[in-house]
Chains A and B, each alone.
Chain A
Amino acid sequence: GEDVEQSLFLSVREGDSSVINCTYTDSSSTYLYWYKQEPGAGLQLLTYIFSNMDMKQDQRLTVLLNKKDKHLSLRIADTQTGDSAIYFCAESISGGYQKVTFGIGTKLQVIP
């Protein structure tokens, strides 16, 4: 079955790097996504990675995928107070209906 797990909370100092981790269980996942949610708003797509890739970098964001361990991470370099939000990991599974399963979300708190 499909299940996506994340830790609930992460606190970092402004300027440091943040690493948010995620594990998933379905080996047939094809795409893995990271979304950001600010208070009272919808989810904003940050980045995504295809399951045959190991790494993807996009400005301050680096996504690492360990397919063997089913582990996904999002690294935010030089974390800013504007990065404070909830970050969701999600997996998309191929099939007649491409179901997207979300993790519970990790709340990132950036301390000035």
Chain B
Amino acid sequence: DGGITQSPKYLFRKEGQNVTLSCEQNLNHDAMYWYRQDPGQGLRLIYYSQIVNDFQKGDIAEGYSVSREKKESFPLTVTSAQKNPTAFYLCASRRGDKGNSPLHFGNGTRLTVT
């Protein structure tokens, strides 16, 4: 079955450490996205990539970095510069055509930094 896989489901890190969240899709989608979800704040866009080897900052990119070396993969690194990294992180993808195809989401990674 096609879908988006995020791993791990739960991640714990000490403050000051970088951590990388994995996102893989086998939907053959061109565009991929990272969102952050905090209670009472909905979803906020961190980074997005419309094609391989290209990505753009979203609304809250500070303290995060991404890469898009393969169509299937869009890992997110939460750096020590992110002031409040504890959150639920969601990866999404879509066809990327101009027809406004809907976003498909993974099951998320809950990151806790202490």
Residues of A near any B CB (own CB < 8 A): 30-31, 33, 35, 40-45, 48, 88, 90, 92, 94, 97-100, 102-105
Interface of B is mostly: strand
User: Do B102 and A48 touch across chains, with their CB atoms under 8 A apart?
Assistant: yes
Q: Does B40 contact A (CB under 8 A)?
A: yes
Number of B residues with CB within 8 Å of any CB on chain A: 22
List 6 A-B pairs, minimum CB-CB distance, nearest first: A42-B105, A104-B42, A31-B100, A43-B105, A102-B43, A92-B100
Contact residues in A for B32 (Cβ distance below 8 Å)? none
Q: Which residue of B lies closest to A100 (CB)?
A: B103
User: Do A94 and B103 touch across chains, with their CB atoms under 8 A apart?
Assistant: no
User: Do A30 and B42 touch across chains, with their CB atoms under 8 A apart?
Assistant: no
User: Do A104 and B102 touch across chains, with their CB atoms under 8 A apart?
Assistant: no
Q: Which residue of B lies closest to A30 (CB)?
A: B100
User: Do B102 and A45 touch across chains, with their CB atoms under 8 A apart?
Assistant: yes
Interface of A is mostly: strand
Q: Does B84 contact A (CB under 8 A)?
A: no
User: Do A33 and B108 touch across chains, with their CB atoms under 8 A apart?
Assistant: no
User: Do A104 and B100 touch across chains, with their CB atoms under 8 A apart?
Assistant: no
User: Do B102 and A31 touch across chains, with their CB atoms under 8 A apart?
Assistant: yes
Q: Which residue of B lies closest to A33 (CB)?
A: B102
B41, B92, B98, B102 — which one has the most chain A CB atoms within 10 A of its CB? B102
User: Do B107 and A42 touch across chains, with their CB atoms under 8 A apart?
Assistant: yes
User: Do A97 and B42 touch across chains, with their CB atoms under 8 A apart?
Assistant: no
Contact residues in A for B100 (Cβ distance below 8 Å)? 30-31, 92, 94, 98
Question: Contacts A30-B100, A88-B42 given: A42-B106 contact, CB under 8 Å?
Answer: yes
B48, chain A: closest CB distance, angstroms: 7
